[in-house]
Structure 1
Amino acid sequence: MNKDYLERTLSARVYDVAIESPLEHAPNLSRRIGNTVYFKREDMQPVFSFKIRGAYNKMVQLSRADLERGVIAASAGNHAQGVAMAAQYLKCRATIVMPATAPRIKVDAVTRRGAEVVLIGDSYSDCYEHAMKLAAQSGATFVHPYDDPDVIAGQGTVAMEILRQHPDPIDAVFIPVGGGGLLAGMAAYIKRLRPEVKVIGVEPTDANAMYLSLKLGERITLPQVGIFADGVAVKQVGEETFRLSQEFVDDVILVDTDAMCAAIKDVFEDNRSILEPAGALAIAGMKAWAAREGAQDKTFVAIASGANMNFDRLRYVAEQAEMGEQREAIMVVTVPEKPGSFRTFCSLIGARNVTEFNYRYAKESEAHVFVGLSIQHRSEVVDLIATLASHELAAVDLTDNELAKLHIRHLVGGHAPQAVNERLIRFEFPERPGALLNFLNGMSDNWNISLFHYRNHGADYGRVLVGIQVPPSDDAEFNAFLTRLAYPYWLETHNLAYQLFLGTEAAS
């Protein structure tokens, strides 16, 4: 079968519609992980993913009579676009069954190519069952996204190009895994010609059907799958792809959502392109595998497999990327509720870049500050906690606390009945070191900060919300402070949102 797939791949028809994608060196990531890294840019295909290869290679071999009856496919999105484009080129009708959770960008891309879209269920398996029923009713040809020899061979052309583009030694190739078509096709080709190259599959921790199947020696069906990486949200791998993976794949490694987000940022920093989560999966796996193996001075190729990213997911990706790279730490610090303690805390943070700051007055004795900091190494957190402790400021590292990362950071606050004479001001701080200390040093010792919220949004200024308890007798001094500070500000004490959710009981 090995030779059969070599021949199938060499004779695959993909270049009527696909391009030979570039193999690009990633200098920034290479330097960071101490290995030579190349990205195989399948995100540059006409449908922004490798799926056009297998879909077209299958469909171009159908008879004219088959094409006239049309084709049906089930897909989370990228295979759908491949089938739709192939159908457009071959002038045949296409019906695509997609999950109701599929990103809008993928659904719209399919319909723009003239295919009919049916939305059902929340995973590929749900779509597959419905598509098979439609195929039986209509007589249309079902184009499988991965478990078909012609599809597998079409995807194998990615490996064919890599070995031609990089004839020098390659230590490992990292390949994203959903149903296993790309992994199986590439592994069969690579192991036939360059058996010394390791072939590593990469799956999300919450969609690990291939990992478990290979470990148990039989195909298993996951009860459910995570859909963050919707392009690989498959409950069961293919029968043929599993067989080939058993024979040719060296390892499968698992990565989480944070790691995928970090990999999206890695690719952006090297070539200014934005991958979808499944598209960055192989890069995340490469980093994890290199760290696990202690690899240095090796040559790796990772498949950048798709770029069909919904724009509205970018905010979440950017936020989680820092966690995935371990470049941001989250801590909660207990600060005594007395004049100067907040300033002491900020001075101990020093020149570190503060990514987030959440504080709300709760009781007279102490305050709990939720803070995010940019770091280079996790060891910095241990050192900072020790420094804070030496100044009677207790701190706890919450960087790996999912509740803190996903929810608590957005919920710090509430009514503060004891925060009398509180004034709420919204500031734009200059985004530079010392801006916060300049603010604190200009304040009177008679005023107490009762609320502080800041999150770095990547702008050239920081959006900061501050509650300050100022006696009415200090009105003139407080106004003079605001004038001297010269930071743009807006008084929000009478804002309805503040009164309903943050103000004192009297205000609410």
Structure 2
Amino acid sequence: MTGFSDKALIAERKMRELFPPTPLQRNDHLSARFGADIWLKREDLSPVRSYKIRGAFNAMRKVMATKPEQKLFVCASAGNHAQGVAFAARHFGVQAVIFMPVTTPQQKIDKTRIFGEDSIEIRLIGDYFDDTLAASQAFCEEAGGHFLAPFNDVDVIEGQASVAVEMLDQLGKSPDLVIVPVGGGGLAAGLRRFLAEAAPGSAMRYVEPAGGASLTAALAVGHPVSLSKIDTFVDGAAVARVGELTFEALADIPMSHVLVAPEDRICVTILEMLNTEGIVLEPAGALSVDVLGDLGADIRGKTIICVTSGGNFDFERLPEVKERAQRYSGLKKYFLLRLPQRPGALRDFLEVLGPDDDIARFEYLKKSARNFGTVLIGIETKAPENFARLFGRLDEKGFVYTDVTNDDVIGEFIL
């Protein structure tokens, strides 16, 4: 009977029809910073800039091997899975109907269309993914297509395991630790199952975004559960419910082996990798690198592989990423200032600012028949400790203000 690792090896060999192995690169910057031998498995350099092409290819390949008459495939995705399906459909010369939410950024729609060319049809349905998914499944059943799930599929899991096949061959030995991002769990399940057979001495750590920790929730109760709310910023890994099949491979993971990364801190990592290394990572692709600091002394002197799972970053999001990174790092704050409605009041405030304090936002509406008006002010500075000095001077001068930097309600409305 063929074991899982044998199936993953076959999938990896078959994948060479489509693209060469993605690079495994030692990162000198991270290695020096954390005192470890740190390697990046660059899935952001696949033909579709994510590992999703692997599962889509393998699932499509295996369906066609057993049902050669199957010429129609269907999926629902707002991003990387759609692009993987499109690329594989063009390769195999079959048709794929790809359902995407109406709110999908045009960049992702265009890239999917480029990868699939005449082999795909894109249907924009639903404001939310659940509506898109329901429409795609209803169409698939009616049209007699084969539905390609993004992660909850044994052949998809098997295909994602090809990442581990490549990295062991490229490294030439078993790493001490592999760090892998988790969304629906397909990549994590595939790597865990393969390494358990091929490199049982390699430990693993799993990373979820704080706003979509579905694996953590499932481990807490022993079965997959649906999160009542998710933060979609880490769109490649913000999944409300980990897959049933993927959880089977992950159910006995110790809770301490699952790390949670705050969304704003991920933004710091994205900018660091971009500015220091010239590596473009999407939020999900930065997860494994982001938690290196959390592991601290546990990784010193060890060989670590971080799977950078995707690089489909829309640069229109860069201002938001910078904003969130600055706020997390304590370099930018917003506050509401109660300002007297009299000549010279604004000048009094400006004199309180330090030499490194820069006004990034200023909104003031003078109100008639009132003695005071409220100003929304955003301040950027060069060091977090500058804010303590600024607030001290504001207190000394008798200004009334409220720090709203971390107020989610106000943040949704004004930031």
Normalised by the length of structure 1, the TM-score is 0.69
Q: Describe the shift of the 1:296–1:392 C-alpha distance in structure 2 as closer, same or farther (beyond 3 A).
A: farther
Report if aligned partners of 1:260, 1:324 keep a CA contact under 8 Å in 2: no
Residue matched to 1:304: 308
Offset at residue 84 of structure 1 (A): 1.2
| Distance (Å, rounded) in 2 between the aligned partners of 1:235 and 1:367 | 39
Matches within 5 A, 1:31-46: 37-46=38-47
Report if aligned partners of 1:331, 1:371 keep a CA contact under 8 Å in 2: yes
Residue matched to 2:275: 269
Greater alpha carbon shift after TM alignment, 304-313 vs 355-364: 355-364
Residue matched to 1:101: 103
Matches within 5 A, 1:248-287: 251-287=257-293
Offset at residue 23 of structure 1 (A): 2.5
Report if aligned partners of 1:25, 1:37 keep a CA contact under 8 Å in 2: yes
Larger Rg: 1
Matches within 5 A, 1:5-404: 5-12=4-11, 13-29=14-30, 37-61=38-62, 62-63=64-65, 65-66=67-68, 68-112=70-114, 113=116, 114=118, 115-122=120-127, 124-167=129-172, 170-247=175-252, 251-287=257-293, 289-290=294-295, 299-330=303-334, 341-342=348-349, 344-346=351-353, 349-350=354-355, 352=356, 354=358, 356-358=360-362, 360=364, 370-376=377-383, 378-386=384-392, 389=395, 397-403=403-409
The CA deviation string for residues 251-273 of structure 1, in whole angstroms up to 9 with x for no partner, is 22233432332222122123324
Task: Among all aligned residue pairs of Structure 1 and Structure 2, give the percentage whose two residues are the same amino acid.
Answer: 30
| Distance (Å, rounded) in 2 between the aligned partners of 1:395 and 1:31 | 43
Q: Describe the shift of the 1:138–1:194 C-alpha distance in structure 2 as closer, same or farther (beyond 3 A).
A: same
| Distance (Å, rounded) in 2 between the aligned partners of 1:39 and 1:384 | 41
Report if aligned partners of 2:211, 2:263 keep a CA contact under 8 Å in 1: no
The CA deviation string for residues 166-190 of structure 1, in whole angstroms up to 9 with x for no partner, is 3567453332222110010112223
Report if aligned partners of 1:264, 1:275 keep a CA contact under 8 Å in 2: yes
| Distance (Å, rounded) in 1 between the aligned partners of 2:220 and 2:311 | 30
Report if aligned partners of 2:168, 2:174 keep a CA contact under 8 Å in 1: no
| Distance (Å, rounded) in 2 between the aligned partners of 1:375 and 1:325 | 10
| Distance (Å, rounded) in 1 between the aligned partners of 2:240 and 2:221 | 15
SS in 2 for 1:102: coil
The CA deviation string for residues 332-382 of structure 1, in whole angstroms up to 9 with x for no partner, is 667787576345313xx13x2526252648576798672423344x45533
Report if aligned partners of 1:38, 1:300 keep a CA contact under 8 Å in 2: yes
Q: Describe the shift of the 1:360–1:136 C-alpha distance in structure 2 as closer, same or farther (beyond 3 A).
A: closer
Alignment length (residue pairs): 402
The unaligned stretches of length 5 or more in structure 2 are none
SS in 2 for 1:160: helix
| Distance (Å, rounded) in 2 between the aligned partners of 1:43 and 1:116 | 25
| Distance (Å, rounded) in 2 between the aligned partners of 1:407 and 1:34 | 42
Q: Describe the shift of the 1:70–1:193 C-alpha distance in structure 2 as closer, same or farther (beyond 3 A).
A: same
Q: Which amino acid aligns with 1:140?
A: G
Higher relative contact order, chain-length normalized (CA < 8 Å, sep 6+): 2
Offset at residue 85 of structure 1 (A): 0.9
| Distance (Å, rounded) in 2 between the aligned partners of 1:127 and 1:312 | 24
Greater alpha carbon shift after TM alignment, 89-98 vs 386-395: 386-395
Q: Describe the shift of the 1:117–1:285 C-alpha distance in structure 2 as closer, same or farther (beyond 3 A).
A: farther
SS in 1 for 2:104: coil
The CA deviation string for residues 288-346 of structure 1, in whole angstroms up to 9 with x for no partner, is x336x886565543322222233432222222222234443445667787576345313
SS in 1 for 2:205: strand
Offset at residue 391 of structure 1 (A): 5.9
SS in 1 for 2:50: coil
The unaligned stretches of length 5 or more in structure 1 are 410-508
The CA deviation string for residues 125-144 of structure 1, in whole angstroms up to 9 with x for no partner, is 44443333323222222222
Normalised by the length of structure 2, the TM-score is 0.82
Q: Which amino acid aligns with 1:77?
A: G
Offset at residue 155 of structure 1 (A): 0.7
Q: Which amino acid aligns with 2:408?
A: E
Q: Describe the shift of the 1:400–1:24 C-alpha distance in structure 2 as closer, same or farther (beyond 3 A).
A: farther
SS in 2 for 1:178: coil
| Distance (Å, rounded) in 1 between the aligned partners of 2:49 and 2:89 | 17
The CA deviation string for residues 14-49 of structure 1, in whole angstroms up to 9 with x for no partner, is 221133112234444555566554332111111111
Q: Describe the shift of the 1:332–1:283 C-alpha distance in structure 2 as closer, same or farther (beyond 3 A).
A: farther
Report if aligned partners of 2:359, 2:377 keep a CA contact under 8 Å in 1: no
Matches within 5 A, 1:428-507: none
| Distance (Å, rounded) in 1 between the aligned partners of 2:186 and 2:168 | 19
